[in-house]
Amino acid sequence: MTPILISTLSIEQLQISAILTYTDFNKPLGSVMSKDSQAQSAKPLYAKIADELTDMIASGVLAEGDRLPSLRMLSKSHAVSVPTVVEAYRVLEDRGVVTPLNRSGYYVKRREDFFQPPKPVRPIGSPTKIMQKEATQLVMTAAQNPGLLPFGAAVPSPSLFPITRLKSIMSRLLRHKPELLGSYDFAPGSMELRRELARRSLRWGCTIDPEAIVVTNGCVEAISLALRAVTKPGDIVAVETPTYYGFLSLLEVLGLQALEIPCDPVNGLSVDEFTKALRKFDVTACLLCSTVSNPTGATIPVKKKRELAELACRHDFMIIEDATFADLHFNGETLSIKSFDTDGYVILCASATKTTAPGLRLGWVEGGKVSDQISYLKRVSSIGQPQINQLVLAEYMASGGYERHLRQLVRTIRKQLDQHCTAIADSFPSGLTAVPPSGGFLLWLELSSEIDGLELHNRALSFGIGLAPGEMFSANGLFSNYLRVNCGQVYTDEIRTAYARLGSLLTDMM
């Protein structure tokens, strides 16, 4: 497969090719498209037919919902027995690209059905006291090496940020209001910024009072304050599994227990499983990314978001919703759980600079019924945020630049995601599974079961490649053969080479 071929595909098509659903008798879809004839010739007939059909689906010749040729027709056209075609269709069904419909034949699955979930992972099902994980420590320390290729981070390339514009706003502020350097700004923070943040929350279906917003030192501090406001040591906090490792570290340092709730890589946290868990455990809070989750890229369907909001009210626990990546949803499905919050049970947290200017380091929180406590906690624990940083962002948002930038960023990262997926398909050995994220730039990969992600991380480190091994994303040591890959970096030869290197390392480890 040549990159040129792939780059002509749309993201949706690439998602199909990038599903990377390998089985022991199949080449990856991407490789099929590369017409690797040597491998093809060694294949049984049914596999060749399956590959051919997959190819047609991937290239759009067979579109979503199309009926596949009948068994008889294909048997005739390919001069093979009907059982061979049956076997080929079974392979396609296993791959998740076609679906049988009653007795009327096989159909190309709709795009959303193509997502091939990793094997379902059942968390242990009991609250877990978090212990600082070796993996997390290692990776966080490694992440501070600026020379490292940041596959393990969760940041886009700095070149994707609107630096020139922000720099010019900041320079002008310095010229006209130098006194900003000399004055304190107290929590809850600059009203100019809080007004813009409230206005932006309309995109998430929220109508938020700027007075209830507290500006924080990034989203992580927002979540830390939210947890401190609603929990005490020993309390049980429900989290997705896999969940962002930073959440687990926060639970750890606050002496909280994590209750891992199973997640679907497409639909996110299982509300049904969570409802069952609520009957068994006294849950104080549920901490999750409802839209474009980290690490899976999953988004909870709107209906389920509403159910979660109702559940919180009925069972009297707080939802801490991290909306940091919500604006990066590819189809603009950004409705939040908070938008269904009628009684203040949802605390909305977000970064305000992660996708714009991480160097300004600003996040925010709307604390629902504990807004005042959160504001007090922030003021008592660190007074407030630098005012000039807040005003730069406020002005940028007020100018409309923020929205334009986000639209452009989403376009760019979708394209990049394609490029990264293609490189992975090209370079990694078979035996991995991935789920195209609903947005953002993170890819959650399941590797062959014999691969230890942490070991891969350690080996990759010596080649200057940073990784986020799956083990970090669970309190119970799950996901040891997973990786979260940062596809936010602009695709370059260096990145291509790095994937090739990772491919070799993986092959060595198998």
Does 492 help bind a second copy (rule: CB under 8 A)? no
Does 216 help bind a second copy (rule: CB under 8 A)? yes
Asked if 112 and 35 count as a contact pair (C-beta separation under 8 A), the reply is no
Among 224, 267, 371, 481, binds a second copy (CB under 8 A): 224
Amino acid identity for residue 43 in this structure: K
Does 184 help bind a second copy (rule: CB under 8 A)? yes
CA diameter of the chain: 83
Residue in the structure block whose two tokens are 């067979």? 62
Closest contact distance (angstroms) between CB of 328 and a second copy is 17
**C-beta closer to a second copy: residue 165 or 338:** 165
**C-beta closer to a second copy: residue 119 or 175:** 175
Among 24, 42, 380, 449, binds a second copy (CB under 8 A): 380
Does 164 help bind a second copy (rule: CB under 8 A)? yes
Closest contact distance (angstroms) between CB of 357 and a second copy is 5
Token pair for 79: 């001069």
What's the CA gap between 272 and 289, in Å, rounded? Answer: 17
Pick out residues in 121-140 that bind a second copy (CB under 8 A). 132, 137, 140
Does 158 help bind a second copy (rule: CB under 8 A)? yes
Determine the 3-state secondary structure of 116 from DSSP. Answer: coil
Token pair for 320: 């801490």
Among 105, 262, 386, 503, binds a second copy (CB under 8 A): 386
Q: Dihedrals φ, ψ of 266, to 5°?
A: -100, -50
CA 409, 414, 420, 424 dihedral sign is: positive
CA 424, 429, 430, 432 dihedral sign is: negative
**C-beta closer to a second copy: residue 108 or 349:** 349
Does 253 help bind a second copy (rule: CB under 8 A)? yes
Q: Which stretch binds a second copy (CB under 8 A): 46-54, 64-72, 379-387, 464-472?
A: 379-387
Pick out residues in 342-361 that bind a second copy (CB under 8 A). 357-361
- For residue 216, how many C-alpha atoms fall within 13 Å in the half-sphere facing its CB? 29
Does 232 help bind a second copy (rule: CB under 8 A)? yes
Spell 262-285 as b/e; 16+ CB within 10 A means b: bbbbbbbbbbebbeebbeeeebbb
Among 37, 102, 144, 331, binds a second copy (CB under 8 A): 144
- Written in H, E and C, the secondary structure of 303-347 is HHHHHHHHHHHHHCCEEEEECCCHHHECCCCCCCHHHHCCCCCEE
Q: Which stretch binds a second copy (CB under 8 A): 110-118, 340-348, 371-379, 420-428?
A: 371-379
Residues that bind a second copy (CB under 8 A): 132, 137, 140, 143-144, 146, 155, 158-159, 161, 163-164, 166-167, 170-171, 174-175, 178-186, 216-218, 220-221, 224, 228, 232-233, 246, 249-250, 252-253, 255, 357-361, 376-377, 379-389
